[in-house]
Amino acid sequence: YADSMFNFNLSVKIYRSIAMKEEIKKRIISLRAFMKRQGIAAFIIPSTDPHSGEYVPEHWESRKWTSGFTGSAGTVVITKDKAGLWTDSRYFLQASEQLQDTGITLFKDRLPDTPTIAEWLGEVLHSGDKVGIDGWVNTVAEVESLRISLASKELQLVSVDDPFNLLWEDRPPLPQSSPFILPLEYSGMSCSDKLTLVRESLCRNQADGILISALDEIAWTLNLRGSDIHCNPVFISYLFITQTDATLYILPEKLTAEVKAYLTQNQIQTKDYTEIENDLLQYKGNSIQLSPETNYTLYQAASTSASIIKQPSPIRLLKAVKNETEIKGFHQAMVRDGVAMVRFLIWLKENVQSGMETELSVDRKLYELRSEQCLFQGISFDTIAGYQEHGAIVHYEATPETSSILQAKGLLLLDSGAQYLDGTTDITRTIVLGEVSDEQKTDYTLVLKGFIALSQAEFPQGTCGTQLDVLARQFMWKAGINYGHGTGHGVGHFLNVHEGPHQIRMNHIPTPLQPGMTITNEPGIYKSGRYGIRTENTMLVVPARETEFGVFYKFEPLTLCPIDKEAIRIDLLTDEEIEWLNSYHQRVYDTLSPMLTSDEQNWLKEATARL
């Protein structure tokens, strides 16, 4: 019976896959017909929305609809007879599978031999051809850079109407959920005080007004949260702030009486979301500050009525440096999340022996345990539960068709997080389910050494994340190993789990790390078709000391969860590294044990025992 069900499910999966590939081909044909009517030889489809979001509502998932590729990052380019998708190393395996037999070629972005989009178009198009984009979903910075690159190939860049309004039957509508107020006990600063900080920045830049289009910046400024985007507590809107007033552009039916009264109390007007372009065209002020991440259509509209001051939004940095209330909230959220993680690890270690658990069932169990915690609002991103070879797919997400059965051997890579009213969590643990190979133990320990090295870092004021990235990679590099993703990203306060402007990564990100910033530490090793390993904590930048050479900062771990010791090669660790791990584990035990039952305390005591 089991074999029959397996064969049936496999047949269904194959049939659905074939049907989807044929549908993708039809969609590309319809897009090419649109292109012909518009007189354009190519059309570029990014993954973003008018708010430059990393995760977008279904309404703007045009790249996914066109190509069938479901990863969060990627750009599709369609010409009259060719098609390509550019994506980064996180999605090479996934994209290769999903694009097969669609007629879309995978281009592995950022590899030396991979042409850029402009280079490829220069090869396949003719001089003078027009390349189309939808200005609503492309940023000013992207458009200006692309225009220069295409001009060097004698190609023109033009903005056209969104083709998917015509081509996409049953296109999902704009999200309709209502925003809600985040109380001062969690935000730590009033909306009016935040508006004052923004207006002070406008004065310094001699700008009459500023358009805010990034949804997490709007939510932070107004102390409002929403549920328009999966896992991100934001709401679709624009915010225009001048020295004397502020206007929130939002679909009017989304506003409750309570939120309307709150906005009125804070002297914030509301207008229909769809009126923003026309209002910018008719703006009476002299100058408008716009972020380079503003969409090109609104940039063009603003440019017709005012001079543009193109600078990053001041809210990015204001939001990234957490206030005392937010920091306290992070600590509290991490304790509750740590309790859920410990209970999950106990359950997993006991139940994996049954042979009945899968990647999907562990995802469900972890959600259940987190949902029992106070102030839980949902997950902060879709859980990555990758067993053995699936762990090598950096952003793997199990489905009923792909979900592996866990066995009492090998490694499970589990990357997950939660949204709480007082903080956002992001944690990865690679969990030993049974016997592991010597190679896996060596790689696990190399990852751990890099993780500890970055955790221990002390650095002078003015240091950016790029200058610290090598700390996490150095031991892997000596073994001829590397990973393609960044080492760390900012984490929002009950906001987006990926937050800028600071990061830790190889490519240069100039924003200095400052006390109050949250950032992850997540080195990894991925061996295709075999296994993946990653260890991740969320950390807080805090003052370290001041010497004759200046002020120094360091990292304080926020995440509280044991790191599996069963795969560690102790012979590869230094005494200092062992002491760091022992100290961290003591902190985990001391903080979490009062929240646990006696049996759970006993398990945690063993899991955090000294090496």
DSSP 125-158: S-TT-EEEE-GGGSBHHHHHHHHHHHHTTT-EEE
Residue 12: the pLDDT is 44
In angstroms, rounded to a whole number, what is the distance separating the alpha carbons of residues 592 and 335?
A: 6
pLDDT in tens, 151-190: 999 999 999 999 999 999 999 999 999 999 999 999 999 9
Report field, pTM of the whole predicted structure over 0.75: yes
Q: How far is CA 263 from the centre of its chain?
A: 29
**pLDDT, averaged across the chain:** 95
By CB neighbour count within 10 A (0-12 exposed, 13-18 middle, 19+ buried), where does 422 fall?
buried
In angstroms, rounded to a whole number, what is the distance separating the alpha carbons of residues 368 and 360?
A: 12
Residue 314: the pLDDT is 97
Residue 401: the pLDDT is 85
Residue 7: the pLDDT is 47
pLDDT in tens, 266-281: 999 999 999 999 999 9
Residue 482: the pLDDT is 97
Q: List the beta bridge partners of residue 518.
A: 540
| Residue spans of the chain under pLDDT 50 | 1-2, 4-12
Tell whether the torsion through CA atoms of 432, 434, 438 and 440 is positive or negative. negative
In angstroms, rounded to a whole number, what is the distance separating the alpha carbons of residues 594 and 601?
A: 8
In angstroms, rounded to a whole number, what is the distance separating the alpha carbons of residues 249 and 298?
A: 13
